[in-house]
Structure 1
Amino acid sequence: MSESAMTGGEALVRALAVHGTRTAFGIPGTHNLEIYRHLDRYRIAHVTPRHEQGAGYAADAYARVSGCPGVAITTTGPALLNIAAAVGQAYSDSVPLLVVSPGMPLRHPRLSTGLLHEMRSQTETMRGVAAFSHRVSSVEEIGAAVARAFTLFGTERPRPVHIEIPLDLLEAAEPVGDVQLRPPYVPTVPHAAVVREAAGTLRAARRPALVLGGGARRAGAECLALAEELGAPVITTANGKGIVAETHPLSLGVSLHSPAVQRWLADRDAVVAVGTELAESDLWSAGPPTLNGTLVRVDLDPAQMYGGLQAGHPLVGDASAALRALLAACRQHGPGAASGPGRDDAARTDVVRLRGQRDAETAGRDARWVPFLHAVRSVLDADAIITSDSAQCCYYGALPHLPVGPEGRFLHPTGFGTLGYALPAAIGAKTAVPGRQVVALSGDGGFQFSVQELATAVQSRLSLPVVVFDNGGYGEIRDEMAARGDAPVAVDLAPVDLPALARAYGGRGERADTPAALADALTRALAAPVPTVITVPEETAR
Structure 2
Amino acid sequence: MTVPRISGGDALVRALAKHGVDVVFGIPGTHNLGIYRYLAEHGVRHVTPRHEQGAGFAADGYARVTGRPGVCLTTSGPAVLNAMTAVTQAYSDSVPVLLISPGMPLKHPGRGNGTLHEVRDQRGALEAVIGYTNRVHSVSEIPLAVAQAFAAMTSGRPRPAHLEIPLDLIDAMDKVSCVQPLVVAHPAADAVTIAAAAGRLHTSARPGLIVGGGARGAAEEILALAKRLGAPVVATANGKGTFPENHELSIGAGLHHRAVADFVAECDVVLAIGTELASTDLWNGPLKFSGDLIRIDVDPAQMITNAAPDYRLVGDAQATVEALNQRLGFGKPSEEAARRAERWQKLFRKHARAQGAPWLPLTDVLKTELAPGAIIAGDSAMVCYYGALSNLPLDAPASFLYPTGLGTLGYGLPAAIGAKIGAPDRQVVALHGDGGIMFTLPELATAAQLRLPLPVVVADNGGYGEIRREMVDRSEPVHAVDLPTVDFAKVAKAMDCHGVTVDDETKFAIALRKALSADRPTVIHVVGDLAGA
TM range (shorter): over 0.9
Does the residue aligned with 2:88 lie in a helix, a strand or coil? helix
Q: 1:504 aligns with which of 466, 484, 494?
A: 494
Does the residue aligned with 2:415 lie in a helix, a strand or coil? helix
Indicate the residue corresponding to 2:10 in structure 1: 10
Is 1:86 the counterpart of 2:86? The answer is yes
State whether residues 250 and 345 of structure 2, in contact with CA within 8 Å, keep that contact through their aligned partners in structure 1: no
Does the residue aligned with 1:128 lie in a helix, a strand or coil? helix
Indicate the residue corresponding to 2:46 in structure 1: 46
Residue 94 of structure 1: how far off its partner (Å): 0.9
Cα distance change of structure 1 residues 103 and 250 upon mapping to structure 2, 3 Å threshold: same
Task: Please tell me the residue identity of whatever aligns with 1:17.
Answer: A
TM-score normalised by structure 2 residue count: 0.97
State whether residues 382 and 407 of structure 1, in contact with CA within 8 Å, keep that contact through their aligned partners in structure 2: no
Task: Please tell me the residue identity of whatever aligns with 1:202.
Answer: L
Is 1:23 the counterpart of 2:23? The answer is yes
Alignment of 1:52-201 (within 5 A): 52-177=52-177, 179-201=178-200
Is 1:465 the counterpart of 2:432? The answer is no
Residue 365 of structure 1: how far off its partner (Å): 4.2
Indicate the residue corresponding to 2:466 in structure 1: 476
Task: Please tell me the residue identity of whatever aligns with 1:509.
Answer: G
Residue 320 of structure 1: how far off its partner (Å): 1.2
* Alpha-carbon distance in structure 1 between the residues aligned to 2:353 and 2:153: 41
Cα distance change of structure 1 residues 257 and 54 upon mapping to structure 2, 3 Å threshold: same
Task: Please tell me the residue identity of whatever aligns with 1:192.
Answer: A
State whether residues 352 and 391 of structure 2, in contact with CA within 8 Å, keep that contact through their aligned partners in structure 1: no
State whether residues 353 and 391 of structure 2, in contact with CA within 8 Å, keep that contact through their aligned partners in structure 1: no
Percent identity, aligned pairs only? Answer: 51
Task: Please tell me the residue identity of whatever aligns with 2:127.
Answer: R
* Between 414-423 and 351-360, the greater mean CA deviation after superposition: 351-360
Residue 540 of structure 1: how far off its partner (Å): 4.5
Indicate the residue corresponding to 1:416 in structure 2: 406
* Alpha-carbon distance in structure 2 between the residues aligned to 1:358 and 1:352: 10
State whether residues 25 and 58 of structure 2, in contact with CA within 8 Å, keep that contact through their aligned partners in structure 1: yes
Cα distance change of structure 1 residues 364 and 195 upon mapping to structure 2, 3 Å threshold: closer
* Alpha-carbon distance in structure 1 between the residues aligned to 2:45 and 2:277: 38
Indicate the residue corresponding to 1:488 in structure 2: 478
Task: Please tell me the residue identity of whatever aligns with 2:526.
Answer: V
Paired residues, number: 532
Is 1:393 the counterpart of 2:391? The answer is no
* Alpha-carbon distance in structure 2 between the residues aligned to 1:306 and 1:535: 44
Is 1:292 the counterpart of 2:264? The answer is no
State whether residues 212 and 235 of structure 1, in contact with CA within 8 Å, keep that contact through their aligned partners in structure 2: yes
* Alpha-carbon distance in structure 2 between the residues aligned to 1:447 and 1:31: 30
Residue 207 of structure 1: how far off its partner (Å): 1.1
Post-superposition Cα deviations, 1:470-501, rounded to whole Å, max 9, x if no partner, equal: 00100010101110001112101111000100
Residue 359 of structure 1: how far off its partner (Å): 3.7
Does the residue aligned with 2:334 lie in a helix, a strand or coil? helix
State whether residues 514 and 541 of structure 1, in contact with CA within 8 Å, keep that contact through their aligned partners in structure 2: no
Indicate the residue corresponding to 1:230 in structure 2: 229
Residue 311 of structure 1: how far off its partner (Å): 2.1
* Alpha-carbon distance in structure 2 between the residues aligned to 1:408 and 1:247: 16
* Alpha-carbon distance in structure 1 between the residues aligned to 2:259 and 2:216: 26
State whether residues 461 and 531 of structure 2, in contact with CA within 8 Å, keep that contact through their aligned partners in structure 1: no
State whether residues 503 and 529 of structure 2, in contact with CA within 8 Å, keep that contact through their aligned partners in structure 1: no
Residue 187 of structure 1: how far off its partner (Å): 2.5
Residue 302 of structure 1: how far off its partner (Å): 1.4
State whether residues 237 and 402 of structure 2, in contact with CA within 8 Å, keep that contact through their aligned partners in structure 1: yes
Does the residue aligned with 1:415 lie in a helix, a strand or coil? coil
State whether residues 384 and 408 of structure 1, in contact with CA within 8 Å, keep that contact through their aligned partners in structure 2: no
State whether residues 244 and 395 of structure 2, in contact with CA within 8 Å, keep that contact through their aligned partners in structure 1: yes
Residue 38 of structure 1: how far off its partner (Å): 0.6
Indicate the residue corresponding to 1:524 in structure 2: 514
State whether residues 216 and 397 of structure 2, in contact with CA within 8 Å, keep that contact through their aligned partners in structure 1: no
Cα distance change of structure 1 residues 407 and 519 upon mapping to structure 2, 3 Å threshold: farther
Does the residue aligned with 1:278 lie in a helix, a strand or coil? coil
* Alpha-carbon distance in structure 2 between the residues aligned to 1:363 and 1:18: 48
Can you give the 5+ residue segments of structure 2 that lack an aligned partner in the other structure?
A: none
Does the residue aligned with 2:276 lie in a helix, a strand or coil? coil
Task: Please tell me the residue identity of whatever aligns with 2:505.
Answer: P
Indicate the residue corresponding to 1:325 in structure 2: 323
Cα distance change of structure 1 residues 19 and 128 upon mapping to structure 2, 3 Å threshold: same
Alignment of 1:338-487 (within 5 A): 344-361=334-351, 363-406=353-396, 409-487=399-477
CA RMSD of aligned residues (A): 1.6
Cα distance change of structure 1 residues 26 and 507 upon mapping to structure 2, 3 Å threshold: same
Q: Which runs of 4+ in 1 moved over 6 A?
A: none
Residue 294 of structure 1: how far off its partner (Å): 1.2
Alignment of 1:280-319 (within 5 A): 280-286=279-285, 288-319=286-317
Does the residue aligned with 2:493 lie in a helix, a strand or coil? helix
State whether residues 23 and 71 of structure 1, in contact with CA within 8 Å, keep that contact through their aligned partners in structure 2: yes
Can you give the 5+ residue segments of structure 1 that lack an aligned partner in the other structure?
A: none
Residue 364 of structure 1: how far off its partner (Å): 4.7
* Alpha-carbon distance in structure 1 between the residues aligned to 2:439 and 2:18: 35
* Alpha-carbon distance in structure 1 between the residues aligned to 2:356 and 2:427: 25
State whether residues 144 and 180 of structure 1, in contact with CA within 8 Å, keep that contact through their aligned partners in structure 2: yes
Post-superposition Cα deviations, 1:29-66, rounded to whole Å, max 9, x if no partner, equal: 11111010110111100000000000000001111111
* Alpha-carbon distance in structure 2 between the residues aligned to 1:312 and 1:421: 37
Task: Please tell me the residue identity of whatever aligns with 1:114.
Answer: G
State whether residues 455 and 522 of structure 2, in contact with CA within 8 Å, keep that contact through their aligned partners in structure 1: yes
Task: Please tell me the residue identity of whatever aligns with 1:374.
Answer: D
Residue 352 of structure 1: how far off its partner (Å): 2.9
Post-superposition Cα deviations, 1:426-481, rounded to whole Å, max 9, x if no partner, equal: 11011112222111111000111100000001111111111110001000101011
State whether residues 261 and 287 of structure 2, in contact with CA within 8 Å, keep that contact through their aligned partners in structure 1: yes
Cα distance change of structure 1 residues 318 and 362 upon mapping to structure 2, 3 Å threshold: closer
Does the residue aligned with 1:368 lie in a helix, a strand or coil? helix
State whether residues 237 and 256 of structure 1, in contact with CA within 8 Å, keep that contact through their aligned partners in structure 2: yes
Post-superposition Cα deviations, 1:5-49, rounded to whole Å, max 9, x if no partner, equal: 211111111100111100000000111110101101111000000
Residue 256 of structure 1: how far off its partner (Å): 1.1
Is 1:261 the counterpart of 2:260? The answer is yes
